Structure 1
Amino acid sequence: MIQVNIHEAKTHLSKLLQKVLEGEEVVIAKDNQPIAKLVLFEEQKPKRRLGRARGLIRIHPDFDAPIEDLEDYM
Structure 2
Amino acid sequence: MQTVNIHEAKTQLSKLIEQAVQGEAFIIAKAGKPMVKVTKIDTPEAGSKKRLGFMAGQISTPKDFDEMGKAEIAKLFGVEYLT
Give the TM-score of the pair, scaled to structure 1.
Answer: 0.56
Unaligned runs of 5+ in 2: 45-82
Q: Does 1:42 align with 2:32?
A: no
Aligned length: 47
Unaligned runs of 5+ in 1: 45-73
How far apart, CA to CA, are the structure 1 residues paired with 2:2 and 2:18? 12
Post-superposition offset of 1:22: 1.2
| Cross-structure match for 1:2 | 2
Please identify which structure carries the higher helix content: 2
Q: Provide the secondary structure at the position in 1 that maps to 2:10.
A: helix
- 1:27 is aligned with what amino acid? I
Q: Percent identity?
A: 44
| Cross-structure match for 1:20 | 20
CA RMSD of aligned residues (A): 1.9
- 1:17 is aligned with what amino acid? I
Post-superposition offset of 1:43: 4.0
Give the TM-score of the pair, scaled to structure 2.
Answer: 0.50
